[in-house]
Amino acid sequence: MDEIQKLLGTFPEKVDLDSQVLEEVDCGSFTRRKVSYMVEANERINAYICIPKNLSGNVPAIFCHHQHHGEFELGKNEVVGLAGNPDQAYAKELAERGYITFAPDAIAFEERQGGGEWFALATRLVQGNTLMAKVLHDVSVGLDFLQAQPNVDSTKIGFIGHSYGGRMALWVPAFDNRIRASVSNCGCIDYRHSLTPDTGIQMEFCIPGFMEKFDLEDVIEHFDDCPLLISATIEDKWSRGYDGLYEAIKAKGQQNVELKVYPGQHVFSPEMREYAYKFLDNNLSQPID
């Protein structure tokens, strides 16, 4: 892991969260709050936290990472069901299931569009850093915020994401062991299968020199007691190579991983989401209704 971290470059420094509640909306079975907090000096971001009503104690929480889809105007709004594709509203659905859910914007999306992905990558590369280090830092700060909230069981925090979010589900637990279960949907393409024009390397994952020694299984190898569900579809280019990745992960000695393959394309269907939610239920000891 030290060699991989060296390739990522310097991570940003954490600062005091200085969190604020911007709005609160009654959503029936849960309350949705829009919050803001500091991720770096001079950088404040917004997120949603969905809190089930009538909690009598601490409950598991899920970090819900949004997709990419080239829709930079969407981010946290989509996963809480305010915009975009209803099949992406897993933060809303998991809150209805009894979880506290958390959904920030990743850099370059929704309220963080700024100069865009290319600007976010290029300005870091020329300084000897990577966008991935920034993205991982932002997730870690988000976990700091989530862990500090009332009624969050900090020993039972999960992670779920589709596409870009699914790719982050394969990285974050290797760098932050607060994640106790992770779900990657339609985002398991490794570097070996990304060297084609129809996929390419997403800018967040452009890490100079990474493929000289490593691929995705070398990251997942460093999950520490974190069950992983890789959910893939047979016609999805972003799931390409799922079987080889699964075997490579197992060969590295990481046995607590499950591969679930579905027909179809780049989707997170109701069937796929229900299986993913039960996986989280089972691994985070959340009672199933």
> What's the mean per-residue pLDDT of the chain?
96
**Residue 279 and residue 187: Cα distance in Å, rounded?**
17
pLDDT at 56: 85
Q: What is the DSSP string of the chain?
A: -HHHHHHH-PPPPP-----EEEEEEE-SSEEEEEEEEEEETTEEEEEEEEEESS--S-EEEEEEE---TT-TT-SHHHHTTSSS-GGG-HHHHHHHTT-EEEEEPPTTSGGG-TTHHHHHHHHHHTTT--HHHHHHHHHHHHHHHHHTSTTEEEEEEEEEEETHHHHHTTTHHHH-TTEEEEEEES----STT--STTT---GGG--TTGGGT--HHHHHTT--S--EEEEEETT-GGGTTHHHHHHHHHHTT--SEEEEEESSSS---HHHHHHHHHHHHHHHTPPP-
Mean pLDDT, to the nearest integer, of 187-205?
Answer: 96
Within 8 A by CB and 6+ apart from 110, the residues are 72, 73, 74, 75, 76, 77
The torsion of the CA quartet 26, 29, 35, 40, rounded to 10 degrees, works out to: -170
- Assigned token pair, 233: 């579809």
Check whether 287 has a pLDDT greater than 70: no
Check whether 289 has a pLDDT greater than 60: no
Mean pLDDT, to the nearest integer, of 150-165?
Answer: 97
Residue spans of the domains in the chain: they are 2-9+18-282
CA distance from start to end of the chain: 40
Check whether 272 has a pLDDT greater than 80: yes
Check whether 288 has a pLDDT greater than 80: no
Task: Sort 74 into a burial class: Cβ within 10 Å, 0-12 / 13-18 / 19+.
Answer: buried
Check whether 140 has a pLDDT greater than 60: yes
The pTM is what?
0.96
Residue range 2-43, pLDDT digits in tens: 899 999 999 999 999 999 999 999 999 999 999 999 999 999
**Residue 35 and residue 233: Cα distance in Å, rounded?**
35
Does domain 2-9+18-282 bear CATH number 3.40.50.1820? yes
pLDDT at 114: 87
Residues 215 and 192: beta-carbon distance below 8 Å: yes
Within 8 A by CB and 6+ apart from 232, the residues are 186, 188, 239, 242, 259, 260, 261, 262
